[in-house]
């Protein structure tokens, strides 16, 4: 079984000097995307509710990376993020809305309060950050991009993820509608829909391990090929497509949802 490889170092720094804000960048998919954008020459703002984690990632990126603590469920905190980006750079070419929390509750265990918490972060948080950063993106130079991280669960139903799937489904159509609204400004808007990715969010609710380590996952998704590539994804597997959608190569791609799932969506 293929285990995945690290993203290759870029031959040319194709995002040289551009400012990229990545939320939820202290770990997982966000960290992988931040690292790739920095390797391509971008000045990356590592935005995360985990201030210490964000600072550690930013220190490792170098190249003028900036760590900012942000709670995307809090309007004042998001406003402070926008102010920090404006004070340091005065603009933003790339915004990656990645921050999210996991929902693994059955409908019987879910309350409206727990539902609203997931929606407030995973759905409203991306919109809150976009509205706050949009003036800076409009002020940006070449290659203005907004990239949202959705999920294959936003494209189909799944057990015990009602709030998460609802929020990610909203991100799908938020992406499409925003792309139409910002087309006249020359701002390209797209989304990635990851499948099973090996991150902390794949941790089982009881803390016993990751979902891709379970017998059911190995049997259904690997042994019997429900995931044709027969492995869980890695953050680097998302970072490459994210770079593409943030690059000049994607200048005629907007309003699209790119599934990055090892082929699992092809088997339904």
At what angle are helices 28-39 and 51-61 packed, to 10 degrees? 30
Indicate if the pLDDT at residue 1 is higher than 50.
Answer: no
What pLDDT digit, counting tens, does each position of 13-70 carry? 999 999 999 999 999 999 999 999 999 999 999 999 999 999 999 999 987 899 999 9
Structural domains in the chain plus CATH codes: 19-205+234-263 (3.40.50.720)
Q: Give the model's confidence band at 4: pLDDT under 50 very low, under 70 low, under 90 confident, else very high.
A: very low
Tell me the Ramachandran region of residue 160: left when phi exceeds 0, alpha when psi lies from -120 to 50, beta otherwise: left
Rounded Cα distance between 70 and 45, Å, is 11
Rounded Cα distance between 162 and 156, Å, is 11
What pLDDT digit, counting tens, does each position of 238-249 carry? 999 999 999 999
Closest by CA position to 160, among listed 123, 225, 204: 204
Indicate if the pLDDT at residue 102 is higher than 90.
Answer: no
Rounded Cα distance between 125 and 72, Å, is 5
Is there a contact between 230 and 125 (Cβ–Cβ < 8 Å)? no
What contacts 24+ positions apart, CB below 8 Å, involve 177-184? 178/130, 178/146, 179/254, 179/255, 179/256, 180/255, 182/146, 183/254
**Within 13 Å of residue 137, how many CA atoms lie on the same side as its CB?**
24
- Residues 88-101 have a mean pLDDT of 97
Q: Which residues are catalytic?
A: 164
Q: Give the model's confidence band at 75: pLDDT under 50 very low, under 70 low, under 90 confident, else very high.
A: very high
């Amino acid at each position: 079984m293929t285990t995945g490889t690290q993203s290759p170092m870029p031959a040319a720094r194709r995002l040289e000097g551009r400012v990229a804000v990545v939320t939820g960048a202290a770990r997982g998919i966000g960290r992988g995307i931040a690292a790739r954008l920095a390797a391509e020459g971008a000045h990356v703002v590592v935005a995360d509710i985990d201030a210490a984690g964000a600072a550690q990632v930013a220190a490792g990126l170098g190249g003028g990376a900036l760590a900012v603590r942000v709670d995307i469920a809090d309007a004042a905190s998001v406003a402070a993020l926008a102010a920090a980006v404006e004070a340091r750079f005065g603009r933003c070419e790339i915004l990656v809305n990645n921050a999210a929390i996991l929902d693994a509750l059955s409908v019987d265990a879910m309350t409206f309060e727990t539902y609203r918490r997931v929606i407030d972060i995973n759905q409203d948080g991306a919109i809150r950050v976009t509205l706050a950063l949009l003036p800076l993106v409009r002020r940006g130079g070449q290659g203005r991009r907004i990239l949202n991280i959705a999920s294959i669960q936003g494209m189909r139903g799944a057990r015990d993820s009602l709030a998460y799937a609802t929020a990610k489904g909203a991100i799908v159509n938020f992406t499409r509608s925003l792309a139409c609204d910002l087309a006249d400004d020359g701002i390209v808007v797209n989304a990635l829909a990851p499948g099973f990715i090996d991150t902390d969010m794949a941790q089982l609710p009881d803390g016993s391990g990751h979902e891709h380590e379970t017998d059911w996952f190995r049997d259904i998704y690997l042994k019997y090929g429900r995931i044709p590539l027969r492995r869980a994804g890695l953050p680097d597997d998302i970072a490459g497509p994210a770079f593409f959608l943030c690059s000049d190569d994607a200048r005629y791609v907007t309003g699209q949802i790119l599934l990055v799932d090892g082929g699992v969506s092809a088997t339904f």
